[in-house]
Structure 1
Amino acid sequence: MNDERKTEHQNDLFDRFFFSLIPAYVIERLFWEMRGMSVLDVVLTEIIFGIVMLSLEVPSGVLADRIGRKPLIVAGVFLEGLMFAVLLIADSFWQFGLAIGFSAAGAAFLSGAENALLYDSLAAVHREEKFDWHLGRLQAVRMISLFVAAMSGSFLPGYYPLEINYWLSFVSTMTAFLLTFFLKDIKQKSSEAVDSLSGQIAEAARFFIKQPALVYLLLLGMTVGLAAGFVEEFWQLYLIDAGIGLSFFGVYYGIILIVQFPGALLAHTLRKKFGRECLLKIVILTGTAALTFSAFQVNWKGAAAIVLFLLAAGVTEPLILGALHEKADSRIRATLESFQSLVFNAVLIAIGTAFGYIATHFTLAMSFIFLALVSLIPLLIRVVTKLNH
């Protein structure tokens, strides 16, 4: 990789480090609860997040393919910073909902553009086959940043109000925002552009219709991502139910971040040896067993089972995004990832509603069993399909 591309990759590393340096995450549920937000309220904000994502995902991906990746990345990081500014003064459901709306818009702008820019940068120097390798390293940098934030974020509340974590998160996000201006876009040749917006969307839809094997891989990754996402969202409440003290929260958060390093770093190597589908099925079976065990053992053992699941889940993102970008047409690269994210958030709304209802009217442990059952759906689909043939 030439010096210019090395510098570009370093800029991306620093940008993602500061963007993930968020001490607020480790006390997020406690802060929200202190401001009057119940589990159901949190899930409703997740639904708001999903609705905004559904509205903006594809348009933002189309824009990233047509005007460039960088403008969308700059806007996306700024909106994430605006979320923290609103959360600092939020004391009602609708203020929290507004903040999450800003976050969702920012996430929509980033979801297709960031990885499209990474792939384009590698393709420009004929290194695109290393996309999942680089993505794994970026994911590891993100985990390191989150770990640093977790340690500091769990230490600070012992001496300062919880709001200090949100102020530091705001400053870190604004630092990432400034760094985005140093990223360099990879311009597509005008002759490569799709003729119209509707043509671009239609071409992206046809792409997935013609790629059933890829769609199945994305479905496998989606179920893992949903389960892991809800576990990472509500582990704090699980530890409280398990009788584990607040003083251990930072250490536990650090552990669940560290265990995801090996998967992120080894995804490229493991994919070459075992194949994507095999690895994702192993992750699903591991997650199903771990979530079921944690539901029946709400204690230290259950907390350890959650760690095991997240250890396995660490390979997921590089695997599925690598598969998508390997087959993607550069003209609609960001649009394709936005389509994938669109479907994910549509499913998130449905699963999140059921998860929140079960957690509120029964127990969080019961909602973990629900996630375990949902995780098995893609495997059951494959079994039924084979029986019908």
Structure 2
Amino acid sequence: MISTPTATSDRPFERRLARNPMLLCLHHAMMMSLFPMAILTLFQHDHLGLSIAEIMMAQAAFGGALALFEFPSGYLADRIGYRATMILASLVSIAGWIVYSVAVGFWTVVLAEVSMGLGLSLVSGTHSAMLYESLANRGREEDFARWFARSRTYAQIAEGSAALGAGLLFGLSVRLPFYLMVIVWILNLGVALALVEPRYARRSVQKPVAHVLSLVRFVARGAPRLRALFAVAVVIGLSNFIPVWLVQLYARDGGVPISWLGPIWAIANYAVALGSVMSDGIGRRVGIVAVMFGCAGLIALGYFGMGLSYAWWGFVFYFAFNVSRGISAPLLAHAEQAEIPSGDRASLVSMRSLLFRASFVALGPLIGALIDVHGQHTVLLGVGGLMVTLTLASCSLLAGAPAPDESRPEVTHI
């Protein structure tokens, strides 16, 4: 059975639905008010005694949880509804931050990271699917990239602003940033409760396993442009994500005072916000393929700049990753949504996120172990060469993909 969006005179519903985009922006901003992030690596390394390899393993556990739950959570969201899934994500995230606030070693960190991985997996595909369907219900699909960029901008400003206070909070109590995250997610639960479920093609699936396989076939064989977009999103996302877990120790080892780490993290997030603001305009002027090749150049600047620089200010090259991330994400998200049929949005966006997280699970611990042995600069140069090559290859694949109006088949539903 399919329930499709229809014209309606239900004005109270439409008024409440019109609030969804701003509520989703607020939810994302609060989710990204990550008070511990600017000092997380130092907390794990200096206060809990984790090695760099263990830190990367803990992040791999987070990524593994996302990889494990990513697609099932997106599939669940398409079946039970986006609002219910956002509420569930808030409850799980509250539990995860409670565990982090009492962490005492590697395994409690892993438990907290797995819990938060589950919470984020529930939001991952659901957020963009709910945003797109909320706009589509009102005939405003063309506004998706703008709203998505706005959501990212608010989120990065929130994360950057949280980072500015991280050092002060950390100085008062090493666990205070984690206690605040519990409060933030309790408030975010209230935002999720205020959301309105949009009307979309919610299908009653008789054979879930067969339907899941049909979604995999849809991407693997039936949707060449979506497949290329997934490849670009995974490679660029991974290229920009790996340095996030290295920059704090990179800056400290280069002689940057610890008190600077909060402002550096804030500037990094503001750089993402700036890229998000510019994204839609740049994409309209030069096209998505040219923008992605430009992001490949920024990724090269980031890796090779950090790898070759031994001066204290070498961390400045890290901001190239932030601008790349801000510019690329809204354009890729909009292009993906244009290729995905209603009723499977969260599932397919989560499938792409799964590919990204699984890639980090495979690479993260290896990179951490190599850095423990060979140091950051040598490894950054090697990883940079690999990621720039993969980024250029994926961008070339997108350049050769069919145009949007030529490439969108339908999923076979069972």
Q: TM-score if structure 1 supplies the norm length? A: 0.93
1:1-389 alignment to 2 at 5 Å? 3-33=15-45, 34-158=47-171, 160-189=172-201, 192-208=203-219, 209-375=221-387, 376-380=389-393
Distance 1:230 1:122, change over 3 A: same
> Structure 1: which amino acid aligns with 2:167?
S
Identity of aligned residues (%): 21
8 A contact 2:292–2:395 mirrored in 1? no
Tell whether the 8 Å contact from 2:90 to 2:119 is kept in structure 1 after alignment: yes
1:89 is displaced (CA, Å) by: 1.3
CA deviation digits over 1:110-147, x for unaligned, max 9? 11111110010000001112211100000001011112
* 1:44 CA drift (Å): 1.0
Shift in Å, 1:55? 2.0
Task: Count residues with an aligned counterpart.
Answer: 384
Q: CA deviation at 1:380?
A: 4.1
Cα distance in 1 for partners of 2:25, 2:276 equals 15
Residue by residue, what CA displacement relative to the aligned partner does 1:223-243 show, whole Å, maximum 9, x if unpaired? Answer: 221122122222110111110
1:320 alignment partner AA: L
Q: Do 1:54 and 1:342's aligned partners in 2 also have CA atoms closer than 8 Å? A: yes
Instruction: For 2:54, give the aligned amino acid.
Output: D
Structure 1 residues not aligned, in runs of 5+? none
Question: Which stretches in structure 2 are left out of the alignment for 5+ residues?
Answer: 1-10, 400-414
Between the aligned partners of 2:192 and 2:397, the Cα distance in structure 1 is 47
More displaced 10-residue stretch of structure 1: 14-23 or 24-33: 14-23
- Take 2:267 and 2:61, find their aligned partners in 1: how far apart are those partners? 30
CA distance in 2, matches of 1:383, 1:124: 35
CA distance in 2, matches of 1:195, 1:188: 18
Letter of the 2:275 counterpart: G
- CA distance in structure 2 between the partners assigned to 1:17 and 1:151 by the alignment: 15
Query: What does residue 402 of structure 2 align with?
Result: none
**One-letter identity of the residue aligned with 1:206:** R
Aligned counterparts of 2:103 and 2:274: Cα–Cα separation in 1: 37
Greater alpha carbon shift after TM alignment, 300-309 vs 70-79: 300-309
Partners of 2:78 and 2:119 lie apart in 1 by 17
SS of structure 1 residue aligned to 2:117: helix
C-alpha separation between the residues in 2 aligned to 1:298 and 1:54? Answer: 35
TM-score between both structures, scaled by the size of structure 2: 0.87
> Quick one: distance in 2 between partners of 1:207 and 1:259?
36
Flag the 1:152–1:335 CA change in 2: closer, same or farther, 3 A: same
Once the two structures are TM-superposed, the CA of residue 20 in structure 1 deviates from its matched residue by: 1.7
The CA deviation at 1:353 is 2.7
Kindly report the root-mean-square deviation, in angstroms, between the aligned alpha carbons of the 2 structures: 2.2
Query: 1: CA distance between counterparts of 2:242 and 2:168?
Result: 24
How many Å apart are 1:325 and its aligned residue? Answer: 0.6
Deviation of 1:385 after TM superposition, in Å, equals: 12
Residues 273 and 358 (structure 1), Cα distance of their counterparts in 2 relative to 1, 3 Å cut: same
Instruction: State how far apart, in whole Å, the 2-side matches of 1:83 and 1:25 are.
Output: 15
Tell me, in whole angstroms, the C-alpha distance in 2 between the residues paired with 1:276 and 1:324: 12
User: How much has 1:361 moved relative to structure 2?
Assistant: 1.2
Name the CA distance, whole Å, in 2 between partners of 1:77 and 1:193: 26
Partner-residue secondary structure (3-state), 2:151: helix
Instruction: Work out whether residues 358 and 366 of structure 1, in 8 Å CA contact, stay in contact via their aligned partners in 2.
Output: no
